[in-house]
């Protein structure tokens, strides 16, 4: 079986982001949704306008997001839009909080925890998707990159609750008290990510994956008290395979000789984070076997 191709560029800048997108060889047609995290108010690591705006403008893309399940400034559309404005996203693109009005259930075809995924209804308004993730740590998932951006990220507020509770509750107030094994949460994220991929495939809508590996904090951009980076920037990876792209990010973190990388590895492994790529592969979402192609 042919290995998945993962493209890599070391220097993180707007030109290289466009260059690595072009290396994928896929033109995203029609109305393009660009899934990024707008970042919680107070966080520092979210992808900045000066880095991503040239690519988003070239695609004539719309920034797409959904509201959070946890209490904060992004759990309702009005305040979420205000944070998106403060963080510079509305300065270069339209921003669509996809579950502002309604949500919809889509099938989970394979898995052991979720019966369905719940996404923002406006997701249907897009003909193609760029999953533009920030690779970093995460307090609950160990790390976040393309798979998390496609699961928790595209899920509606209630959908996030459903994933966080491993299929036990759709209530954002209730979900945090549900009991589950950590491994089950990681697997629930993979199932939701696969659900989105299958849903797009069923409509012949393309999706491509890019992860910017900068501001490598052990915390996610969803944390208003996000800690400082623990290691140096790694670069940008891009692929048509989200599993391979996440695996490449993990391998770079785990192969790093930098002292601070130990903290990120510890965060990932204490949350069983590496299990997501292996389980996602078992669902048919992609492969952990990849070829890294340096386009520098």
| Tens-place pLDDT, residues 2-24 | 899 999 999 999 999 999 999 99
Which helix (H) or strand (E) segment holds residue 256: the answer is none
pLDDT of residue 224 exceeding 90, the answer is no
Question: Do residues 155 and 166 lie in contact, with contact meaning Cβ atoms separated by under 8 Å?
Answer: no
Among all chains, which residue has been given the structure tokens 């996610």? Answer: 220
Domains in the chain: boundaries: 4-294
**Average pLDDT over every residue of 111-136:** 98
- Of 203, 207, 179, 193, the residue nearest 32 (C-alpha): 207
Percentage of residues in the chain with pLDDT exceeding 70? 100
Question: Do residues 49 and 88 lie in contact, with contact meaning Cβ atoms separated by under 8 Å?
Answer: yes
pLDDT band at residue 188 using 50, 70 and 90 as cut-offs: very high
Question: Do residues 295 and 9 lie in contact, with contact meaning Cβ atoms separated by under 8 Å?
Answer: yes
Mean pLDDT for the chain overall: 97
C-beta atoms surrounding 74 within 10 Å:
26
* pTM (whole model) above 0.85: yes
* pLDDT for res 2: 87
* pLDDT for res 165: 98
| Rounded distance between C-alpha atoms, residue 55 and residue 77, angstroms | 25
pLDDT band at residue 1 using 50, 70 and 90 as cut-offs: confident
* pLDDT for res 169: 98
Percentage of residues in the chain with pLDDT exceeding 90? 96
Query: Terminus-to-terminus CA distance in the chain, angstroms?
Result: 27
Among all chains, which residue has been given the structure tokens 């945090």? Answer: 176
| Rounded distance between C-alpha atoms, residue 270 and residue 274, angstroms | 10
* pLDDT for res 223: 87
pLDDT digit string, tens, across residues 258-291: 999 999 999 999 999 999 999 999 999 999 999 9
pLDDT band at residue 113 using 50, 70 and 90 as cut-offs: very high
Which token pair is 125?
């308004």
**Average pLDDT over every residue of 100-123:** 97
* pLDDT for res 50: 98
pLDDT of residue 122 exceeding 90, the answer is yes
* pLDDT for res 225: 87
Asked: is 4-294 a CATH 3.40.50 domain? The reply is: yes
């Amino acid at each position: 079986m042919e290995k998945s191709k993962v493209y890599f560029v070391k220097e993180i800048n707007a030109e290289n982001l466009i260059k690595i997108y072009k290396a994928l060889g896929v033109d995203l047609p029609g109305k393009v949704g660009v899934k990024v995290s707008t970042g919680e108010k107070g966080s520092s690591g979210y992808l900045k306008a000066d880095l991503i705006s040239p690519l988003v403008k070239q695609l004539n893309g719309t920034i797409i997001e959904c509201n959070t399940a946890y209490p904060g400034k992004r759990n309702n559309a009005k305040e979420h839009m205000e944070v998106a404005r403060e963080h510079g996203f509305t300065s270069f693109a339209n921003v669509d909080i996809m579950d502002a009005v309604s949500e919809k259930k889509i099938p989970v075809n394979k898995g052991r925890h979720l019966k369905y995924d719940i996404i923002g209804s406006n997701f249907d308004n897009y003909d193609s998707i760029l999953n533009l993730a920030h690779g970093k740590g995460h307090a609950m998932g160990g790390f976040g990159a393309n798979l998390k951006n496609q699961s928790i990220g595209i899920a509606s507020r209630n959908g996030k609750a459903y994933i966080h509770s491993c299929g036990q509750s759709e209530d954002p107030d209730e979900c945090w008290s549900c009991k589950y094994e950590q491994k089950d949460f990681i697997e629930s994220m993979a199932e939701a990510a696969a659900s989105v991929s299958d849903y797009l495939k069923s409509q012949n809508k393309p999706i491509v994956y890019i992860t910017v590996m900068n501001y490598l904090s052990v915390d996610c951009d969803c944390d208003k008290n996000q800690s400082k980076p623990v290691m140096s920037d790694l670069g940008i990876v891009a692929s048509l395979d989200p599993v391979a792209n996440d695996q490449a990010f993990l391998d770079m973190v785990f192969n790093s000789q930098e002292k601070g990388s130990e903290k990120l590895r510890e965060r990932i492994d204490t949350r069983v984070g590496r299990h997501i790529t292996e389980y996602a592969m078992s669902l048919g979402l992609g492969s952990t076997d990849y070829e890294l192609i340096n386009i520098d």
